[in-house]
Amino acid sequence: MNLSMATDLAINYKSPAQIARVVSEAWGGTNLYCPNCDTSCLSATPVNTAVYDYLCLVCRQHFQLKCMSAPIGRRIMDAAYNTMMRAINEDRVPNLFALHYERSSWTVKNLLLIPHFALSSSAIQARTALSSVARRAGWIGCFIVLENIPGDARIHLVKDGVVVPSAQVRDCYARIRPLEKVPVKERGWMLDVLRVVQALGKREFTNGEVYRFAPELEKLHPENRHVRDKIRQQLQFLRDRGLLTQVERGVWRVEG
């Protein structure tokens, strides 16, 4: 992977946003690869294709690229809130590449991958509606809140200017890929419980330690009145998908 970006491709553009888009998309077409299979490059979709920027011609996975000159923080700005929520509920969200580049040298500093099946409604935050005098008055955008996504689903391809081996990236993707088969209505709960488990930072943990997050999970899922029962259910589901091992009743071990 070449971390240098070719700026000569945007020589006819003046808008900083357009320059960044042209340069980053061209870089992606040359350097991005599929984490889901062994394909070494992705195919760029036609200009102005909605939502998707790249396609893997082998496994047919879709990808979107978002680039920024500022470091990747807690949130990533995304499109319309209602559109994003509908895409999540219909399981149509693409895999997301978040690219942080250094503007002075046009080099890639960080590249983060969020698998499409790791984006749930819990990770989407509505932005303030545009004012009545704005051209799109009332329009509501959204943020993707990275800290509401399980740590295992925030996969680095480049970290602090260092390229992560593609085999390691694919191993990370494969580890959580069983969640892709979970029905979307159930997947949000499973992702939230997995995030809580990983936030504990422990190899072994108990039901009681996860129960401490019950108020937070209740706020995210107000329709459920039996949060502790749901937590136990999701821990069992994570066990069945190889992400956890049940050591004994009420005690679990994180695998991988």
- Counting as low any pLDDT under 50, the low residues of the chain are none
Q: What phi-psi label fits residue 236: left (phi over 0), alpha (psi between -120 and 50 degrees) or beta?
A: alpha
DSSP state of 4: B
Whether residues 169 and 189 share a domain: the answer is no
CATH number at residue 236: 1.10.10.10
Q: DSSP of 29-90, one letter per residue? A: HHH---SSSS-S--EEPPTT-SS-SEE-TTT--EEEEEEESSPP-SEEEEEEHHHHHHHHHT
Q: Exposure pattern of 102-128 as b/e (b: 16+ CB <10 Å)?
A: eeeebebbbbbbbbbbbbbbbbbeeee
pTM for the whole structure: 0.90
Question: Looking at the domain assignment, is residue 130 inside a domain?
Answer: yes
Let me know: does 123 contact 114? Beta carbons within 8 Å: no
Q: Which of 176, 206, 230 is a domain's end point?
A: 176
* Residues 27 and 118 placed together within one structural domain of the fold: yes
- Cα 32 from chain centre: 16
The structural domain count of the chain equals 2
Q: Is residue 1 part of a domain?
A: no
For Cα atoms 153, 47, 83, give the angle at the middle one, nearest 5 degrees: 50
pLDDT at residue 46 in the model: 78
Question: Which three-class secondary structure state does DSSP give residue 215?
Answer: helix
The domain boundary, picked from 159, 176, 193, lies at 176
Tell me, what's the pLDDT at 43?
A: 94
Q: Is residue 250 part of a domain?
A: yes
Give yes or no for a contact between 119 and 149, defined as CB atoms under 8 angstroms apart: yes
Packed helices 227-240 and 184-200: angle between N→C axes, nearest 10 degrees: 90
Beta bridge partners of 126: 142
Residue 110, beta-bridge partner list: 100
For residues 116 and 39, membership in a common domain is answered with: yes
- CA distance linking residue 30 with residue 62, whole number of Å: 16
44 and 154 share one domain? yes
Q: Which of 154, 176, 198 is the last residue of a domain?
A: 176
Closest CA to 119 of 172, 64, 166, 42: 64
Same domain, 119 and 241: no
* 79 lies in the same domain as 19: yes
162 and 49: one domain? yes
Smallest CA-to-CA distance from 19 within 79, 67, 72, 70 is with 67
Q: Are residues 48 and 163 in the same domain?
A: yes
Residue at 2 is within a domain: no
Query: Mapping DSSP to helix (H, G, I), strand (E, B) and coil, where does residue 138 land?
Result: coil
**One domain, residues 165 and 248:** no
Residue 97 and residue 153 in one domain: yes
Q: Check if the beta carbon of residue 78 is closer than 8 Å to that of residue 96.
A: no
* Residue reference for tokens 């071990």: 253
Q: Does residue 161 share a domain with residue 126?
A: yes
CATH number at residue 132: 3.40.210.30
CA distance 40 to 234: 35
Query: Whole-angstrom Cα distance, residue 57 to residue 66?
Result: 21
Domain of 204?
A: 185-254
Q: Is the domain of 127 the same as that of 101?
A: yes
